[in-house]
Structure formats: structure tokens, C-alpha cells
A = this chain, B = another copy of it.
Amino acid sequence: MEGKSMKVKRNQRLIYLTNYFVEHPNQLISLSYFADLFDIAKSSLSEDIQFIKEIFQQYNLGVVETIAGVSGGVIYSPQVSKAERQALINEMTELMTDIHRILPGNYIQLNDILQNPSTLIQAAKIIAEYYRHQEIDAIMTIETQGVGLAAAVARYLNIQYVVVRRDSNETSGPTISVNYISGSHQTVRKMELAKNSLQAHSRVLIIDDFMRNGGTVNGLISLLKEFDCQCIGTCVFAENVLKQNTDLPPYESLFKVEIVYNKEEKAFELKVETGTVLA
């Protein structure tokens, strides 16, 4: 913000404020900040904010809340409209018609989907909106494919994110590690996180791109225990949960994908359904 304190017209203030809210999701901003910036009374500012709040509400652009009191201010949280949610569902359904996504061993190739920034952003906003009222201190994810999503959710919730590694390197500093059962081969693998990444007693939301049998998530939860932290939820972009596994942690998902046999076509195909977050 390089403009100096000056009398600005209402129209100009509305543009500035809208931009500021969208660029500062989930941040409590003191009304004094804007009142000083525009050199106006807080009552005029409150009218501006009320007006933006109504437009945002009308078009499902997000929630603008004002909090009264000395430590109060205004806070914006993004929202995703029904139409945008449906567009994401349609896109996923379309992408899953490509049977080349079915890989040897009945794995499903999904890594390209979250590499499209629009898809990533919509998914992240939907997750942030879902957990908006929860008290969360940090997002945790594990390398590699879920990192972009975790970083974007962290941005919308305005909290830090930490990335667990399967092998740390020279730039990590001291780490804490646990072993976990990698579902892919039911083998024991190691995961580790830099010791200074999380403060004790943090409330942590686990975010990942894909969940197959929960082995990785169970590992992340046990790693959180070593940090004296609490897992307040797990959310994945897509789940392909194998029904025989009974040791699943509680989780939420945007999508469920499954390989099914189409008897008429005599071929395997992918079935997509909405998960708990989008249902």
C-alpha cells in the first residue's frame, strides 16, 4: 500500500477494500487500519463494509464478518458457490472417463488433476470453507502430490503448513520420525518432520491428495502424537478406500473414485462420486 492517507471516494474505497479482503483471507483486520488509511470515520467505513458484505453474500463470493470490541475488526473467508462446486464435480467426472488412468495393480493416476491451478484453488477453497469454524493451528501433509493443495488450504485458513518427508536431507535440521505401514506393499517405511516445525499442543488438520487404505494417514497421526499435537481432522481430495481395511482413521473427502467392471462394455472403468465434503 503506497497511497498516502487521503480523502478517497466511496467507489474507490469499495474497490480497495474488496481487493484487500480477497487478498487477506481469514485475517482479522482492525477497522482503525482502514479508517486511518482513508482518513474517514469508522461509521462510514462500517457502511462500506456492510455494503461489500451484502454483495459478497448475494453472489456467494465469501463471508465478511465484523467483530465488535477493542480487539475486533473485519474478517473475510472465501466461499465456493453451488455452481462452482458443480463445475468441479463435472470436471472430475469428465477427467475420470479416461481409462488410461487405471494403472497396473489397480492404482489410479490422479497426479495431473491438482496440477491445474484452477482445480487446485477450487478444491482448496472448498476444504477451507468446510473447516472454517474449527480452531486449527497448522496443516500437515506428506510429500509430494498433496503439497500444492495443503499450501493453498493453509493460505485460505491463514495458518502455516508443514510437509512430512520420507527422507529428510541436509537442510532439514533435527527431525522426529516414525515408521508406518505403506499400504502399497504393506511394508514398513519411515516418515519424518523437522523438529521445529510444530509447537506442542497444536491442533492440526491433515491434508492429502489421495487415500487408499489409510496407512499413510495413520502414520501422520502417530507422528503428530510424537510432537504432542492433536489431529483435528483429515481431508483428502480423493479416496479409493479398499473396503477390507478396518483400521481407517476418521476422514473427509471431496471425491470417491473406484475402479468398477462394466459388464455390458466388458471393460473396467472409473466411477466418481462426491465425498463427505461435497455431498
Contacts and interface: CB of A to CB of B under 8 A. Distances in A.
Interface of A: 1-3, 10-12, 14-16, 18-19, 22-23, 51-52, 55-56, 58-62, 81-84, 100, 103-105, 107-112, 115-118, 120-121, 143-145, 147-148, 150-152, 154-155, 158-163, 165, 169-173, 184, 194, 196-197, 210
A204 B14 CA distance: 38
For the complex of A and B, the 6 pairs showing the least CB-CB separation, nearest first, are A148-B151, A147-B147, A117-B155, A143-B144, A18-B18, A107-B170
A86 to B, nearest CB: 10
A121 B163 contact: no
A12 B58 CA distance: 10
A60 B3 CA distance: 8
Contacts of A184: 169-170
Contacts of A103: 170-171, 173
Given A2-B83, A145-B171, 18 more contacts: A2-B60, A2-B82, A3-B58, A10-B11, A12-B55, A16-B61, A19-B62, A22-B22, A103-B170, A104-B170, A107-B170, A109-B173, A116-B160, A117-B159, A118-B158, A144-B147, A145-B163, A171-B210
Given A15-B55, A19-B56, A112-B197, A117 B172 contact: no
A56 B116 CA distance: 27
Contacts of A155: 117, 120-121, 152
Nearest to A109: B173
30 contacts: A1-B84, A2-B60, A2-B81, A2-B83, A3-B59, A11-B11, A15-B51, A15-B52, A15-B56, A16-B55, A16-B61, A18-B19, A19-B59, A108-B171, A109-B173, A111-B163, A111-B171, A111-B194, A112-B194, A112-B197, A115-B163, A117-B151, A117-B155, A117-B159, A117-B160, A117-B161, A118-B158, A144-B163, A145-B171, A148-B161
Nearest to A125: B23
Contacts of A51: 11, 15
Contacts of A172: 109, 111
A115 B160 contact: yes
Contacts of A158: 117-118
Contacts of A23: 22
A154 B111 CA distance: 16
Contacts of A12: 55
